[in-house]
Amino acid sequence: MGVPVLTIAGQKFMGRLTGSLMCQLGLSDWVTKSKEQYISTAVSMVNDLSNLWDLRQHLRINAQNTIFNAKKHVLELEIALEAAWKNYINQ
């Protein structure tokens, strides 16, 4: 862990999944929309090693607080299910 993933969010499931995870981590600039943007973003990221170093230092904690936070996800699911149920019974 500790290495962000540059991805193209497009038609393929893995690209969309990775894009979603990167956005939840606050790394939406790691999600591209085309091959050209992917290449230019990769070159830009590689040329800024200090930013990559800083990102790697905080990525594990950031992931633990967001995408790997099971309690938060369960709470969000409970809230969504409760809202759906209230919406259903109020129809």
Strand, helix or coil at 37? helix
Is 67 exposed, middle or buried, given 0-12, 13-18 or 19+ CB atoms closer than 10 A?
middle
Residue 26 has pLDDT above 80, yes or no: yes
Give the pLDDT confidence of 52-63 residue by residue, as tens digits. 999 999 999 999
Residue 1 has pLDDT above 70, yes or no: no
Predicted pLDDT at 2: 72
pLDDT per position as a tens digit, 30-46: 999 999 999 999 999 99
State the pTM of this model.
0.75
* Other C-beta atoms lying within 10 Å of the C-beta of residue 49: 9
Residue 71 pLDDT: 95
